[in-house]
Amino acid sequence: MMAPERSATMEEISALAKRRGFVFPSSEVYGGIAGLYDYGPLGAQLKSNVRQAWWREMVLARQDVVPFESSIIMHPLVWKASGHVDVFVDQFIDCRHCKHRFRADHLQSFEQCPNCGMRGTLTEPRDFNLMLRTNVGPLEDSASLAYLRPETAQGIFVNFKNIYQTARKKPPFGVAQIGKAFRNEITPGNFTFRMREFDQMELEFFVPHDGRDLDWYREWVAARKAWYSRYGVRPEKLRFHELSPDERPHYAQACTDVEYEFPWGWGELESIAHRGTYDLDAHMRLSGKDLTFFDEATKSKYTPILIESSAGLDRTTLVVLVDAYAREKTVDANGKDAERVVLRFHPAIAPVNVAVFSLARNKPELVERARRIEAELRSAGMRTQYDEGNIGQLYRRQDEIGTPHCVTVDYDTLEDATVTVRDRDSMAQERVASDALAAYFEERLPT
């Protein structure tokens, strides 16, 4: 019944995201601001579900990972030690003719402007530090200069000792954090792929020098692969690119980039790296403080080796949206050719997992019954939505926001206490006793 799908363009996906309330340009009434976005009611829930899915697996399901949250503004020397003050730099090039700005590493050639086509109009590359600056305290001088963190990881490194001592953990163990990061990207774009304010989900896993560090690295690559596949990301769109020694930072013994094939091409979502002792060493050198691990058993200290998984929450949310999007040919209730847009979210990720409808707006007995069912399912822990009216239109809207199941209360419900349950993907419908609905969905809606 369903024709093969064609792949969607980013314009179609971002138009749907706007129309249905997933993502809006930030401060749109003032014309927006480049690289900044707001999440609408459905987008905020979608992003929260992705965050929860990561947190559940990376923190709650493990006895060897503890949660953490550091401040966004930290001591400026943190960024000196990490290298961000000196080398967190991109080079940019402007076209003198059309004023378009490019990242130097995004240009194939320096001859001709890829935007306006003019030759010889590009400037020399210029360095640009990507950290956003602010001042802490009432005086705006160099002594009060501070940075909005460009990554969450450093908060974990400088707290390593506080964390292991208070959590009473011993390597191998990890620390996880989700939070905002800021980068003054030269060319933000591709919708929410490259933003100037975004959330990261980072895991820093500290391991001893017992020869198993590369095994831990491989275990984390496998765990992250399993995570994406659990939430149904199409395997042909996802690749795990193992970096060659030339491609990876000098201190990294191994590094894998997780990439997704977006409508514009492959883009990085996450990076998993064996970082040696580089980060803790750097903070020990500059702060003069001891950040080694003291092993009570052997009465000796060492700097643990770090395995890092650093993923973008907004990029992962974008992947979930792009990956779920499908436009397909179908037939309507009258047997006519029709087309529908459907977001095939995994049920644990879908912003709404059950929609409950009353067949008619003006029939109090139907409305009251449907509202009661919706309230019961909500109190059983489901993310529900109530609606009423033309069932065809209601299905269309729920397909477009990716709701896995719809429940319709109709006149038969008043006679036999059954409702119609419709499945988003197969569009199959079945009658289910209304008092058995909570159990029915509990079985079908995994967390």
Binding site for ligand ATP (CB under 6 A): 151, 183, 185, 194-195, 198, 200, 268-271, 310-312, 314-315
Q: Would you say 160 or 260 has its CB closer to ligand ATP?
A: 260
Shortest Cβ distance from residue 262 to ligand ATP (Å)? Answer: 12
Shortest Cβ distance from residue 249 to ligand ATP (Å)? Answer: 10
Q: Would you say 260 or 441 has its CB closer to ligand ATP?
A: 260
Shortest Cβ distance from residue 163 to ligand ATP (Å)? Answer: 21
Shortest Cβ distance from residue 206 to ligand ATP (Å)? Answer: 19
Give CA 355 to chain center in angstroms: 25
Shortest Cβ distance from residue 199 to ligand ATP (Å)? Answer: 8
Give CA 424 to chain center in angstroms: 24
Q: Would you say 23 or 370 has its CB closer to ligand ATP?
A: 23
Angle, CA 292 vertex, CA 147 and CA 58 arms, to 5°: 70
| Residue 4: Cβ-neighbour burial (10 angstroms; 0-12, 13-18, 19+) | exposed
Residue type, 322: V
Q: Would you say 271 or 403 has its CB closer to ligand ATP?
A: 271
Distances in whole angstroms, Cα of residue 371 to Cα of each of 84, 160, 394: 54, 51, 16
Q: Would you say 240 or 294 has its CB closer to ligand ATP?
A: 240
Q: Would you say 101 or 397 has its CB closer to ligand ATP?
A: 101
- Quick check: 243 and 257 in contact, CB under 8 A? yes
- Quick check: 172 and 207 in contact, CB under 8 A? yes
Shortest Cβ distance from residue 188 to ligand ATP (Å)? Answer: 7
